[in-house]
Every structure is written in structure tokens, then in C-alpha cells.
């Protein structure tokens, strides 16, 4: 383990999370100016066996995957293989069904295409067949006019992005991550983990009060597509009703494909191996931070491409999450649901508390993974405390 003395506040915050009983096992890593300045881990990777968390222990990080998938698609756009402003149907002709002829790739990347729900239940036998799941979405009609509103596409985001990538390259997001990003950069990061990685992955502990979510951002509480935020309504009451209603948009968006149908949930090898591009990354904290180090350093995307992708495209009331969200092209930007100390930060959080973040102005990259899932629908502050400690160290 290592912590540059300048970042001792990060070590203190990390140790405090354990001392206060908020962690089982966890790791945090920070790069500044391309240099690894924090690389800490502690606790147990498996509470049943007592297996300790090691330097190379990876963890399933839920929606942290979305930023990785967006980066793969943006790399294709850089090469001229995809036009972000063009209709999805240009590369995926079947997508025109249901009046989606004008839905663009940008609509998909910004959660504004109106397809946050897979309308028919996805059987467990289809969990590893991403093209089959994407075909279900291709036949649907948007829940709102694309481009007129946005709502968090918790799981469908990945199947949509993944199919665009597959139609252009013939390969999955996970294959391109391995071949073009994680492999060349030497990152312990997989979208679809091999068996040897699955064997040493941390085992997640479900929250004591399980949240009906599969891949929501860490901080927000989900809501109802027909009830955007604002208007002086009692949002807390509406959130509570949505949680309890099996037919609410929140439960339908976050619960299909239903990870809970598998023994062990997200610990099941089927999920770890499937490589869903919205919720499928298995990574170490150092691997996640290394991904953002490469983004900030211009090793994965050209600086101009990244800067354009970080420009907020949608912001304000989210039709699936009650709270305000802000997105660039696939990346979360500072908002109520991504409360960063710096206005230039970007990244993505994952259900339970995992968090990846980059900050071009401060030349920072941050990764945090853990196995004790958050108890609350509104997430927890463990990762945010660590981010704040990094900024205080500066």
C-alpha cells in the first residue's frame, strides 16, 4: 500500500470508514499528473471465508461501467465509424420500429432516447446474449419523444450502446475494452470478467434494507417517468411510493434483466462474465483510477473529443430519477446526483457506492470500489468523503 504524505487526508478518511464500521473490504486509488499518489486497500474480500482484500482484488462496480462504454463509442466516433449526431438506424436498421427513425446516437448517450425500460421480461437464459436483449429494445416505442427529456437508462443504456458498437465493429464493448484500452494500458479492468478474475473477485454484501435497483447512480433516489422533479410536490413521498410499487417505472427500469433471479445476485459468475455495458465492469480501484488517468492524459481520447463529450447535453429533472441529473456524452457531470467538489470533474458512480472520477483541470483521477453495498436508496458518503479528502489535500 502507498499514500503520498501530501494525501494523508485520504488515508485518514479511508481508515475512518473502516473504523466506523461502514466497510467490509474496499480500495481507493488516486493519480495526480499521471503519478500514483494513493493506492490503499483493507478488509475482507469475502466475509464468509475471511479471504483478505489484496492489491489485485477486483470488484463488480455496477454503473461505473457506463463511462467505459461511452468511451468505447467515442473512440469509434473519432475514427469516423460512428456519427454521434446521426440516427441510430444508420447502423442498426431494425431500430426504426416504433417510430424511432430520428433517435440519434447522442440521444442514447445522454439518456434521452425514451427507452429506459425493457418491456418484456428478459429470461435468465438470455443474460449473456446482449444482441438478443438489444433486439427487444429495437422493437419498442419510446416512452417520451426522444430529445425532449432525459431519464436514467439504468440497464438499457448498455444494451443500446453495446449494439451500436457491435453493428459497427462486430465486437462487443468488453472485447474492445480488452483489446484497445485495458490491455494496452495494463489496467485491471474488465467488462465481462474471465474465470480467473471471477475467482478472486470480491463478494458483494447486499444492503440490510435491499434497494430495488440493479445499477442506479450512487446518490440519487429513483422516481417515476410520468412525474419529473419539481413543481413543489412531495418528492420523498413519491419516491417511497415508487419503491413500493412493483409496476413503477423505477422498478421496471432497474429490475429487468432481474439480477435477483440468480443465486448470489451480482456475485453470480453469469453476471460477472456477461459484460453488460451499463453494469458489468469488474475492476480494482487502481484499474478504475487508471482508466480516468488515461482519459485525462489524452491516452484514450483526443483532448478535443473529451472536452466536447464533457459539455453538458442534458441537465435538470430526470424522468426516471426524481433528482436532477446532468450528463455529457455518457459521463456524469456535477449535479445533485454527482456532487463533486470541482466543477470540472466528470465520471460515473455505481450502485452501492463505487465511484470513478477524472478532473482535467486538476489532472486528477480517482477510483473507489468496495463490497459492502449501501443501505439507502440515496447512497452513502464513503466515496464522496474520499473525493473531498483528495481535494482538501490539494
Determine if the peptide bond prior to 257 is cis (ω within 30°): yes
Inter-residue contact 229 to 223 (CB < 8 Å): yes
Sign of the C-alpha dihedral computed for residues 95, 228, 325 and 378 taken in this order: negative
Question: Which set of grid coordinates corresponds to residue 14?
Answer: 479511508
Number of Cβ atoms within 10 Å of the Cβ of 262: 16
Q: Cα–Cα distances in Å, from 31 out to 4, 11, 345, 359, 393?
A: 11, 14, 14, 10, 13
Inter-residue contact 25 to 53 (CB < 8 Å): yes
The rounded distance, in Å, linking the Cα atoms of 59 and 52 is: 13
Sign of the C-alpha dihedral computed for residues 135, 138, 141 and 143 taken in this order: positive
Question: Which set of grid coordinates corresponds to residue 10?
Answer: 485520504
Question: Is there a catalytic annotation at residue 240?
Answer: no
Question: Which set of grid coordinates corresponds to residue 373?
Answer: 453495498
Question: Which set of grid coordinates corresponds to residue 198?
Answer: 471471477
63, 172, 248, 354: which one is catalytic? 63
Q: Where are the alpha helices (DSSP H) in the chain?
A: 8-19, 65-78, 105-109, 130-138, 156-169, 173-176, 183-185, 195-200, 235-244, 249-254, 269-274, 285-296, 303-310, 382-393
The rounded distance, in Å, linking the Cα atoms of 84 and 313 is: 13
Q: Residues with catalytic annotation?
A: 63
Amino acid at each position: 500500500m502507498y499514500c503520498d504524505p501530501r494525501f494523508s487526508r485520504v488515508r485518514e478518511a479511508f481508515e475512518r470508514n473502516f473504523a466506523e464500521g461502514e466497510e467490509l473490504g474496499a480500495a481507493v486509488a488516486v493519480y495526480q499528473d499521471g503519478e500514483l499518489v494513493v493506492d490503499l486497500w483493507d478488509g475482507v474480500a469475502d466475509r464468509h471465508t475471511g479471504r483478505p482484500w489484496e492489491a489485485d482484488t477486483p470488484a463488480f462496480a455496477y454503473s461505473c461501467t457506463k463511462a467505459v462504454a461511452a468511451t468505447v463509442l467515442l473512440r469509434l466516433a473519432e475514427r469516423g465509424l460512428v456519427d454521434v449526431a446521426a440516427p441510430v438506424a444508420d447502423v442498426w436498421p431494425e431500430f426504426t420500429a416504433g417510430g424511432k427513425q430520428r433517435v440519434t446516437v447522442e440521444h442514447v448517450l445522454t439518456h434521452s432516447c425514451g427507452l429506459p425500460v425493457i418491456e418484456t421480461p428478459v429470461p435468465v437464459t438470455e443474460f449473456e446474449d446482449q444482441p438478443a436483449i438489444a433486439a427487444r429494445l429495437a422493437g419498442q416505442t419510446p416512452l417520451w419523444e426522444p430529445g425532449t427529456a432525459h431519464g436514467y437508462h439504468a440497464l438499457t443504456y448498455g444494451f443500446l450502446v453495446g449494439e451500436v458498437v457491435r453493428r459497427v465493429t462486430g465486437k462487443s464493448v468488453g472485447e474492445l475494452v480488452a483489446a484497445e484500452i485495458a490491455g494496452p494500458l495494463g489496467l485491471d479492468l474488465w467488462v465481462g470478467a474471465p474465470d480467473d478474475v471471477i475467482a478472486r473477485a470480491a463478494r458483494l454484501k447486499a444492503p440490510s434494507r435491499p434497494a430495488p435497483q440493479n445499477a442506479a447512480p450512487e446518490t440519487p433516489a429513483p422516481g417515476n417517468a410520468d412525474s419529473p422533479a419539481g413543481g413543489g410536490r412531495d418528492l420523498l413521498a413519491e419516491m417511497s411510493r415508487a419503491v413500493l410499487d412493483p409496476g413503477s417505472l423505477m422498478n421496471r427500469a432497474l429490475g429487468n434483466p432481474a439480477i435477483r433471479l440468480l443465486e448470489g445476485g451480482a456475485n453470480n459468475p453469469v453476471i460477472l462474465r456477461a459484460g453488460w455495458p451499463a453494469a458489468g465492469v469488474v475492476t480494482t480501484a487502481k484499474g478504475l483510477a487508471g482508466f480516468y488517468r488515461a482519459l485525462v492524459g489524452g491516452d484514450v481520447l483526443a483532448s478535443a473529443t473529451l472536452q466536447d463529450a464533457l459539455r453538458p447535453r442534458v441537465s435538470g429533472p430526470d424522468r426516471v430519477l426524481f433528482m436532477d441529473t446532468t450528463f455529457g456524452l455518457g459521463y456524469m457531470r456535477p449535479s445533485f446526483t454527482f456532487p463533486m467538489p470541482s466543477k470540472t470533474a466528470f465520471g460515473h458512480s455505481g450502485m452501492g457506492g463505487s465511484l470513478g472520477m477524472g478532473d482535467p483541470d486538476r489532472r486528477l483521477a480517482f477510483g473507489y470500489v468496495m463490497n459492502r453495498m449501501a443501505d439507502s436508496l440515496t447512497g452513502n458518503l464513503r466515496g464522496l468523503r474520499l473525493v473531498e479528502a483528495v481535494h482538501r489535500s490539494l
